[in-house]
Amino acid sequence: MISIIVAVAENNVIGKDNNLIWHLPKDLKHFKETTTGHYVIQGRKTFESCGKPLPNRTNVIITRDKNYKAEGCIVVHSLQEALDFAKNESEIFIIGGGNIYKQALPIADRIYLTKVHHVFDGDTFFPEINMNEWIEKSRHDFEPDEKNKYPFSILILDKMK
């Protein structure tokens, strides 16, 4: 199964200046719990915005740069090559960013979608999801609190067969 995991603002913004915009510890906990132990496939820019591999996960970085090195990571040169590396896994995670999500959305089976109920200024977007193609499998709503400034919802969408 190919799964996308992403946090998206109401206006589809996912990032600005090669960084995340909001800080929602509850959503980060969900990201960590969902992806730990799995392959996490990411674009070179997303990797560099984190600066290091995510612990307890197999980090796969996609770049066109044949000389690119990232300690503790697998470096590949296409999305397909990344998927081939992880082909024996039961579930693999596409963790961004915008460029990689755009390529992965047509072939994804599942989206772990965090909807942040706020409009943000940004420069990187998640592609439009055609809800005729997806079934909402679950949804949990979270109210803001002192550590999580914005309301958000965590949805699981499965591709209609």
Ligand X SMILES: NC(=O)c1ccc[n+]([C@@H]2O[C@H](COP(=O)([O-])OP(=O)(O)OC[C@H]3O[C@@H](n4cnc5c(N)ncnc54)[C@H](OP(=O)(O)O)[C@@H]3O)[C@@H](O)[C@H]2O)c1
Residue 21 or 91: the one with the smaller Cβ distance to ligand X is 21
Residue 8 or 134: the one with the smaller Cβ distance to ligand X is 8
Shortest distance, position 141 Cβ to ligand X, whole Å? 18
Query: Is-contact 5 129, C-beta < 8 A?
Result: no
Residue among 143, 144, 116 at smallest CA distance from 31: 116
Shortest distance, position 50 Cβ to ligand X, whole Å? 8
Shortest distance, position 161 Cβ to ligand X, whole Å? 26
Q: Per the omega criterion (within 30 degrees of 0), is the bond before 97 cis? A: yes
Residues that bind ligand X (CB under 6 A): 6-7, 14-15, 18-20, 43-46, 49, 62-65, 77-79, 95-100, 103, 124
Give the DSSP H or E segment for 99.
helix 98-104
Query: Is-contact 82 64, C-beta < 8 A?
Result: no
